[in-house]
Amino acid sequence: MVDLEILGNVVGADIRQYFTYLHGLPELLALPGTYCEQWVREFYASVWVPSDHRYIHYALAGIDYRVTAQAAREVLGLRAYPTRIHQLCYGNFEPPCRPHGAEIPPVDFVAPCFRPPFGEGSSRTVEDLTRPARILDFVLRKTLLPRTGYRDGFTRIQQWLVAHLISKTPFDLWDLIVSEIDDTISESFRGRRQLPYAHWITMTILRARPVPLPAHLQRELTDSDMVFPHYDPRQMLRAHPTSSCTTWPGAPSFS
Protein backbone atom coordinates (compact mmCIF):
# COMPACT_ATOMS: atom_id res chain seq x y z
CA MET A 1 0.00 0.00 0.00
CA VAL A 2 1.26 3.45 -0.94
CA ASP A 3 -0.41 6.55 0.43
CA LEU A 4 0.52 9.43 -1.88
CA GLU A 5 -0.33 11.95 0.82
CA ILE A 6 2.26 10.40 3.13
CA LEU A 7 4.74 9.98 0.29
CA GLY A 8 4.39 13.67 -0.59
CA ASN A 9 4.85 14.72 3.02
CA VAL A 10 8.08 12.72 3.27
CA VAL A 11 9.79 13.44 -0.06
CA GLY A 12 7.98 16.52 -1.35
CA ALA A 13 4.48 17.13 -2.68
CA ASP A 14 5.66 17.46 -6.30
CA ILE A 15 6.14 13.68 -6.51
CA ARG A 16 2.38 13.10 -6.53
CA GLN A 17 1.96 14.54 -10.03
CA TYR A 18 3.74 11.54 -11.51
CA PHE A 19 1.04 9.22 -10.17
CA THR A 20 -2.15 11.29 -10.26
CA TYR A 21 -2.00 11.94 -14.02
CA LEU A 22 -2.76 8.26 -14.78
CA HIS A 23 -6.36 7.30 -14.13
CA GLY A 24 -6.68 4.72 -11.36
CA LEU A 25 -3.01 4.53 -10.39
CA PRO A 26 -3.20 6.35 -7.02
CA GLU A 27 -6.23 4.30 -6.01
CA LEU A 28 -4.60 1.06 -7.15
CA LEU A 29 -1.49 1.71 -5.07
CA ALA A 30 -3.61 2.56 -2.02
CA LEU A 31 -5.81 -0.56 -2.10
CA PRO A 32 -5.78 -2.60 1.14
CA GLY A 33 -2.99 -5.15 1.24
CA THR A 34 -5.04 -8.08 2.57
CA TYR A 35 -4.83 -11.26 0.52
CA CYS A 36 -5.61 -14.97 0.71
CA GLU A 37 -2.42 -16.93 0.15
CA GLN A 38 -4.25 -20.15 -0.77
CA TRP A 39 -6.22 -18.36 -3.49
CA VAL A 40 -3.13 -16.71 -4.89
CA ARG A 41 -1.16 -19.97 -4.96
CA GLU A 42 -4.02 -21.73 -6.76
CA PHE A 43 -4.28 -18.79 -9.14
CA TYR A 44 -0.60 -18.95 -10.12
CA ALA A 45 -0.69 -22.75 -10.37
CA SER A 46 -3.49 -22.62 -12.93
CA VAL A 47 -3.58 -19.23 -14.63
CA TRP A 48 -3.35 -19.03 -18.41
CA VAL A 49 -2.95 -15.78 -20.35
CA PRO A 50 -3.66 -15.62 -24.11
CA SER A 51 -1.23 -13.64 -26.24
CA ASP A 52 -3.73 -10.81 -26.81
CA HIS A 53 -4.41 -10.44 -23.05
CA ARG A 54 -8.19 -10.25 -23.66
CA TYR A 55 -8.82 -12.36 -20.57
CA ILE A 56 -7.18 -14.52 -17.93
CA HIS A 57 -8.25 -18.07 -17.13
CA TYR A 58 -7.62 -19.70 -13.75
CA ALA A 59 -8.99 -22.38 -11.41
CA LEU A 60 -9.98 -22.03 -7.77
CA ALA A 61 -11.10 -24.96 -5.63
CA GLY A 62 -11.42 -27.07 -8.77
CA ILE A 63 -13.67 -24.62 -10.62
CA ASP A 64 -12.53 -22.80 -13.77
CA TYR A 65 -13.01 -19.06 -14.12
CA ARG A 66 -12.44 -16.57 -16.90
CA VAL A 67 -12.04 -12.85 -16.21
CA THR A 68 -12.03 -10.48 -19.16
CA ALA A 69 -9.62 -7.56 -19.28
CA GLN A 70 -12.59 -5.19 -19.18
CA ALA A 71 -13.97 -6.83 -16.01
CA ALA A 72 -10.57 -6.76 -14.31
CA ARG A 73 -10.12 -3.07 -15.12
CA GLU A 74 -13.55 -2.32 -13.68
CA VAL A 75 -12.72 -4.16 -10.45
CA LEU A 76 -9.40 -2.34 -10.04
CA GLY A 77 -10.63 1.04 -11.29
CA LEU A 78 -8.38 1.19 -14.36
CA ARG A 79 -8.76 2.35 -17.96
CA ALA A 80 -7.57 0.81 -21.20
CA TYR A 81 -4.87 2.72 -23.07
CA PRO A 82 -3.20 1.88 -26.40
CA THR A 83 0.34 2.08 -24.97
CA ARG A 84 1.61 -1.22 -23.60
CA ILE A 85 4.89 -1.06 -21.72
CA HIS A 86 5.86 -4.71 -22.23
CA GLN A 87 5.19 -4.48 -25.96
CA LEU A 88 7.39 -1.39 -26.24
CA CYS A 89 10.17 -3.05 -24.28
CA TYR A 90 10.05 -6.66 -25.46
CA GLY A 91 8.17 -6.53 -28.76
CA ASN A 92 7.05 -10.02 -29.74
CA PHE A 93 9.35 -11.88 -27.34
CA GLU A 94 7.69 -14.89 -25.78
CA PRO A 95 7.50 -14.82 -21.97
CA PRO A 96 9.42 -14.91 -19.79
CA CYS A 97 10.98 -11.66 -20.91
CA ARG A 98 14.50 -11.38 -19.55
CA PRO A 99 15.15 -8.33 -17.38
CA HIS A 100 18.23 -7.13 -19.28
CA GLY A 101 17.06 -7.93 -22.80
CA ALA A 102 14.86 -6.13 -25.28
CA GLU A 103 14.66 -2.58 -26.59
CA ILE A 104 16.56 0.29 -25.01
CA PRO A 105 14.34 3.38 -24.64
CA PRO A 106 15.35 6.30 -26.91
CA VAL A 107 17.70 8.87 -25.39
CA ASP A 108 15.25 11.76 -25.84
CA PHE A 109 12.50 9.86 -24.06
CA VAL A 110 14.50 8.85 -20.97
CA ALA A 111 16.72 11.93 -20.71
CA PRO A 112 14.38 13.67 -18.19
CA CYS A 113 14.97 10.72 -15.84
CA PHE A 114 18.73 11.26 -15.62
CA ARG A 115 20.93 14.00 -14.26
CA PRO A 116 22.65 16.06 -16.98
CA PRO A 117 24.70 15.84 -18.99
CA PHE A 118 22.96 12.85 -20.58
CA GLY A 119 23.19 11.60 -24.15
CA GLU A 120 24.08 8.64 -26.35
CA GLY A 121 26.32 6.27 -24.44
CA SER A 122 25.67 7.85 -21.05
CA SER A 123 25.44 5.64 -17.99
CA ARG A 124 21.92 4.52 -17.06
CA THR A 125 22.21 3.33 -13.47
CA VAL A 126 20.14 4.11 -10.39
CA GLU A 127 22.92 6.43 -9.25
CA ASP A 128 22.46 8.52 -12.42
CA LEU A 129 18.75 9.15 -11.87
CA THR A 130 17.24 12.47 -10.88
CA ARG A 131 15.63 12.56 -7.47
CA PRO A 132 12.02 12.23 -8.79
CA ALA A 133 12.98 9.32 -11.07
CA ARG A 134 14.80 7.56 -8.27
CA ILE A 135 11.81 7.88 -5.96
CA LEU A 136 9.49 6.55 -8.66
CA ASP A 137 11.78 3.59 -9.30
CA PHE A 138 11.88 2.76 -5.60
CA VAL A 139 8.07 2.86 -5.33
CA LEU A 140 7.63 0.79 -8.49
CA ARG A 141 9.91 -1.95 -7.11
CA LYS A 142 7.42 -2.27 -4.25
CA THR A 143 4.30 -2.18 -6.41
CA LEU A 144 4.04 -2.45 -10.21
CA LEU A 145 7.42 -4.12 -10.76
CA PRO A 146 7.91 -6.13 -7.56
CA ARG A 147 11.42 -7.50 -7.29
CA THR A 148 13.49 -8.92 -4.46
CA GLY A 149 16.81 -8.31 -6.20
CA TYR A 150 18.53 -5.98 -8.68
CA ARG A 151 18.47 -3.20 -6.09
CA ASP A 152 21.26 -1.31 -7.85
CA GLY A 153 20.19 -2.24 -11.37
CA PHE A 154 17.98 -0.20 -13.68
CA THR A 155 16.68 -2.63 -16.28
CA ARG A 156 15.15 -1.67 -19.59
CA ILE A 157 11.60 -2.36 -18.44
CA GLN A 158 12.25 -0.11 -15.44
CA GLN A 159 13.56 2.60 -17.77
CA TRP A 160 10.46 2.42 -19.97
CA LEU A 161 8.12 2.54 -16.97
CA VAL A 162 9.84 5.35 -15.07
CA ALA A 163 10.15 7.41 -18.27
CA HIS A 164 6.41 7.08 -18.92
CA LEU A 165 5.66 8.33 -15.41
CA ILE A 166 8.16 11.20 -15.58
CA SER A 167 6.75 12.32 -18.95
CA LYS A 168 3.17 11.69 -17.73
CA THR A 169 2.48 9.46 -20.73
CA PRO A 170 -0.60 7.26 -20.20
CA PHE A 171 -0.15 3.50 -20.50
CA ASP A 172 -2.25 0.41 -19.85
CA LEU A 173 -1.80 -0.63 -16.22
CA TRP A 174 -3.78 -3.86 -16.50
CA ASP A 175 -1.73 -4.99 -19.49
CA LEU A 176 1.46 -4.38 -17.49
CA ILE A 177 0.11 -6.44 -14.58
CA VAL A 178 -0.98 -9.30 -16.85
CA SER A 179 2.37 -9.26 -18.65
CA GLU A 180 4.23 -9.55 -15.36
CA ILE A 181 1.92 -12.38 -14.25
CA ASP A 182 2.62 -14.16 -17.55
CA ASP A 183 6.36 -13.74 -17.00
CA THR A 184 6.07 -15.11 -13.48
CA ILE A 185 4.33 -18.32 -14.49
CA SER A 186 6.64 -18.75 -17.49
CA GLU A 187 9.64 -18.51 -15.17
CA SER A 188 8.04 -21.12 -12.90
CA PHE A 189 8.94 -18.82 -9.98
CA ARG A 190 12.67 -19.10 -10.69
CA GLY A 191 12.83 -15.31 -11.05
CA ARG A 192 12.99 -12.75 -8.28
CA ARG A 193 9.26 -12.26 -7.87
CA GLN A 194 7.16 -14.41 -5.55
CA LEU A 195 3.36 -14.20 -5.67
CA PRO A 196 3.37 -10.67 -7.16
CA TYR A 197 0.16 -8.65 -6.97
CA ALA A 198 -1.32 -11.01 -4.34
CA HIS A 199 -3.76 -8.42 -2.96
CA TRP A 200 -4.86 -7.24 -6.41
CA ILE A 201 -5.39 -10.85 -7.49
CA THR A 202 -7.40 -11.56 -4.35
CA MET A 203 -9.63 -8.55 -5.03
CA THR A 204 -10.10 -9.59 -8.66
CA ILE A 205 -11.05 -13.14 -7.66
CA LEU A 206 -13.47 -11.79 -5.06
CA ARG A 207 -15.23 -9.19 -7.19
CA ALA A 208 -14.97 -10.29 -10.82
CA ARG A 209 -17.35 -13.21 -10.35
CA PRO A 210 -20.83 -13.91 -11.77
CA VAL A 211 -21.96 -15.49 -8.47
CA PRO A 212 -21.02 -14.99 -4.79
CA LEU A 213 -18.15 -16.93 -3.29
CA PRO A 214 -18.98 -20.36 -1.87
CA ALA A 215 -19.06 -20.31 1.93
CA HIS A 216 -15.84 -22.32 2.36
CA LEU A 217 -13.89 -19.92 0.14
CA GLN A 218 -15.34 -16.94 1.96
CA ARG A 219 -14.09 -18.48 5.20
CA GLU A 220 -10.59 -18.84 3.74
CA LEU A 221 -10.53 -15.12 3.04
CA THR A 222 -12.06 -14.18 6.38
CA ASP A 223 -9.57 -16.36 8.25
CA SER A 224 -6.58 -15.07 6.32
CA ASP A 225 -4.15 -12.89 8.25
CA MET A 226 -1.90 -12.24 5.26
CA VAL A 227 -1.41 -8.57 4.47
CA PHE A 228 1.19 -6.45 2.75
CA PRO A 229 2.55 -3.86 5.19
CA HIS A 230 1.80 -0.21 4.58
CA TYR A 231 4.67 1.18 2.53
CA ASP A 232 6.80 3.57 4.55
CA PRO A 233 8.50 6.14 2.26
CA ARG A 234 11.13 6.71 4.95
CA GLN A 235 12.57 3.30 3.98
CA MET A 236 13.76 4.95 0.78
CA LEU A 237 15.63 7.63 2.66
CA ARG A 238 17.35 5.00 4.75
CA ALA A 239 18.10 2.85 1.70
CA HIS A 240 19.87 5.69 -0.14
CA PRO A 241 21.68 7.69 2.52
CA THR A 242 24.40 8.98 0.20
CA SER A 243 22.40 10.02 -2.84
CA SER A 244 23.45 13.30 -4.40
CA CYS A 245 20.16 13.77 -6.26
CA THR A 246 18.79 17.28 -6.47
CA THR A 247 16.20 18.04 -3.80
CA TRP A 248 13.05 20.08 -4.02
CA PRO A 249 12.36 23.06 -1.79
CA GLY A 250 11.06 21.86 1.55
CA ALA A 251 11.79 18.20 0.86
CA PRO A 252 14.22 16.20 3.03
CA SER A 253 17.51 15.22 1.45
CA PHE A 254 18.79 11.67 1.13
CA SER A 255 22.03 12.77 2.75
Is 117 within a domain?
Answer: yes
pLDDT at 242: 44
Contact 194, 180 (CB under 8 A): no
Where residue 248 falls among pLDDT bands split at 50, 70, 90? Answer: very low
Is 191 a residue whose pLDDT tops 50?
no
Where residue 255 falls among pLDDT bands split at 50, 70, 90? Answer: very low
Quote the pTM value.
Answer: 0.86
Is 133 within a domain?
Answer: yes
Is 251 within a domain?
Answer: no
Between 131 and 13, the higher pLDDT residue: 131
Contacts 24+ apart (CB under 8 A), 218-225: 220/36, 220/38, 220/39, 221/36, 221/39, 224/34, 224/35, 224/36, 224/37, 224/38
Contact 97, 90 (CB under 8 A): yes
Is 253 within a domain?
Answer: no
Is 104 a residue whose pLDDT tops 80?
yes
Is 240 within a domain?
Answer: no
Count how many domains the chain has: 1
Is 8 a residue whose pLDDT tops 90?
no
For residues 202-210, average pLDDT: 89
For residues 185-200, average pLDDT: 73
Instruction: State percent of the chain over pLDDT 70.
Output: 83
Residue type, 215: A
Weakest mean pLDDT among 44-53, 59-68, 88-97, 191-200 = 191-200
Between 92 and 155, the higher pLDDT residue: 155
- Find the domain containing 212 and state its range: 4-232
Is 238 within a domain?
Answer: no
How would you write the chain as a 3-class SS string? CCCHHHHHHHHCHHHHHHHHCCCCHHHHHCCCCEECHHHHHHHHHHCECCCCCCEEEEEECCEEEEEEHHHHHHHHCCCCCCCCHHHHHHCCCCCCCCCCCCCCCCHHHHHHHECCCCCCCCCCCHHHECHHHHHHHHHHHHCCCCCCCCCCCCCHHHHHHHHHHHCCCCCCHHHHHHHHHHHHHHCCCCCCCCCCCHHHHHHHHHHCCCCCCCHHHHHHHHHCCEECCCCCCHHHHHHCCCCCCCCCCCCCCCC
Is 215 within a domain?
Answer: yes
Is 252 within a domain?
Answer: no
Is 245 a residue whose pLDDT tops 50?
no
Where residue 40 falls among pLDDT bands split at 50, 70, 90? Answer: very high
